[in-house]
Structure 1
């Protein structure tokens, strides 16, 4: 490059710097939010989830009939393979007990959302507690910290060694069938994922320059871990929580399908409804379609939003 060309390039860079001098820099989360807003997949996923949440919260107050009412049981004749289908009075038809299927699907969305959110929150809380302790001990605790990290992660490895569905079934069978059992079981299988992810992120942050600078200034290691390393390590964990919500709904439905969910079939929940409908698949296959489509679409929405967040927060995946 000639001296003249180099001078022109420097002048151009100076002009650009002067133009953008008054602009404020964006934080990591502000920049990520800007990228998510421009991502079509994120918009679609957020739209699906917004509809799902609104249906779960408001829907039970707007359903035309009680989801447990069997006022139309006389119209169902299973011996003759007669289960009334969709009509102007019952949009999704009736189920095998003469209950309005549309009302049950709408009310069941609340139970499904509750299971997914509570199970994911439980796994996130316990996983972050274990992963945060292990990551802090390893990154900033010296030899004794390595021993603490090793003890915690061996417990996590034991959980990871078991297939997730088998572990969930074992926990649910031990506690007995109920909705709370499903939440605990699904939460337990997500604990090692969050623990491993947060620990790895904290170890990576522990080798950063700001940690070295804070240590040189005499800041206590515990304060560095809590005030600096931990907040900077949470981004991938929160993204994983969004993705885990999708799998939590599917796994909760699987446990309900195996008979480990709410023992009262009158309470509508998509997994339980799917289980009941499978026994009458030849007579009324539509009864399996409604809850299955709800589970698939909801999981798809969580997955789209989670992948968009991961792309926005991970510098290697940014477009």
Structure 2
């Protein structure tokens, strides 16, 4: 857990420096470096292509992804006869004679939906918890410190658990459904956002503008909620990009384990990967396609998130 919390705390500290040596704001300088980053460019292109395909999937998919009748006689799984890529089926047919290309396109939308909803859930709940804890410390007083201690010990307990194990446990309790996957993955993200925002607010607590506001007699509540909190959101925004990559992988893992959408006919990359497992010897590409989709998409969000983190880090400025 120490490595995980160290990374979170380090990202939170990056907001403590609001001005660069050139006098530009932190975000202006960060965006300038992002535009020069090849890692950010590659990540942005991957994410843009993924989002575009997910949005346009239903319109550009050549066939109904659930159609099992058109090419039914061409796929004979009991005889290990499968249909590979050809002119009318760019990625071939799956084990039920459904067009694999159409299923990949439609599956991208469901994968994106699960990742975004889960991340938004974790962001919202985590920000509420972390903001309340950070505000309690900023406001000061024994009650605020006790509140922060209780909340952070609970958050540390959640961080100590392996994220996938926690997500599987939650999904198993709630039952099989797409909503369950979103909730399970979102809950796993909560302690990360909570600790990150709380750490960023503590880093901002000693800034010059806070001391100036205190010397002018501004109420602590207004300082904490009106100034410290808005200025502490930078690392949380960066983390949301990285969390999207994790959410996509964990959602696919839950679907692979049979905890996702109970309707197996609906295309989703994790479900497609699980269905292809039994035919890996005869048709390995049925597993390769969704696996590559998951890997490349997660890579895109990771590259962009890491580029944003490095752009915000004053130690890495050239």
Q: Do they fold alike, i.e. is TM over 0.5?
A: yes
Moved more, 237-246 or 135-144: 135-144
Superposed, 1:268-307 pairs within 5 Å as 268-307=267-306
Alignment RMSD (CA, Å): 1.3
Aligned to 2:67: 69
Alignment of 1:146-295 (within 5 A): 146-295=145-294
Paired residue secondary structure (2:107): helix
4+ runs of 1 displaced by more than 4 Å?
Answer: none
Structure 2 partner of 1:3? none
For residues 299 and 162 of structure 2, what CA distance do their matches in structure 1 show?
23
Structure 1 residue 317: Cα displacement: 2.4
State the match for 1:47 in structure 2. Answer: 45
**Between Structure 1 and Structure 2, how many residues are aligned?**
296
Please say if residues 202 and 230 of structure 1, whose CA atoms lie closer than 8 Å, have aligned partners that are also in contact. yes
Distance in structure 1 (CA, Å) of the matches to 2:183 and 2:42? 30
Distance 2:138 2:93 in 1: 59
Q: Structure 1: how far apart are the matches of 2:54 and 2:126? A: 27
- Structure 1 residue 25: Cα displacement: 5.7
Aligned twin of 1:9? none
Q: Report the Cα distance in structure 2 between the residues aligned to 1:26 and 1:157, rounded to whole angstroms.
A: 36
**1:17 aligns to what?**
none
User: Hey, what does 1:28 align to over in structure 2?
Assistant: 26
Q: What are the ranges of 5 or more consecutive residues in structure 1 without an aligned counterpart?
A: 1-23
Secondary structure of the residue that 1:33 maps to in structure 2?
helix
Are the counterparts in 1 of residues 138 and 220 from structure 2 also a CA contact under 8 Å? no
Contact 1:277/1:288 (CA < 8 Å) preserved in 2? yes
Distance in 1 of aligned mates of 2:35 and 2:25: 15
CA distance in 1 between partners of 2:315 and 2:193 (Å): 21
Deviation of residue 139 (structure 1)?
Answer: 2.3
Distance 1:228 1:315 in 2: 22
Kept after mapping to 1: 8 A contact 2:74/2:82: yes
1:239 CA displacement: 0.7
Q: CA separation in 1, counterparts of 2:31 and 2:133?
A: 30
Q: Given the alignment of the two structures, is residue 106 of structure 1 paired with residue 98 of structure 2, yes or no?
A: no
- The secondary structure found in structure 2 opposite 1:279 is helix
C-alpha displacement of 1:88:
0.7
Q: Distance in 1 between matches of 2:175 and 2:249?
A: 20
Query: Contact 1:77–1:83 (CA<8 Å) still a contact in 2?
Result: yes
The Cα of 1:55 is off from its aligned counterpart by 0.3
Shift of 1:163: 1.6
Structure 2 CA distance for aligned equivalents of residues 124 and 271 of structure 1 = 23
CA deviations over 1:220-243 (Å, ceiling 9, x no partner): 111101121112211111111111
State whether residues 124 and 241 of structure 1, in contact with CA within 8 Å, keep that contact through their aligned partners in structure 2.
yes
- Taking structure 2 as the reference length, what is the TM-score of the superposition? 0.90
Deviation at 1:59, TM superposition (A): 2.0
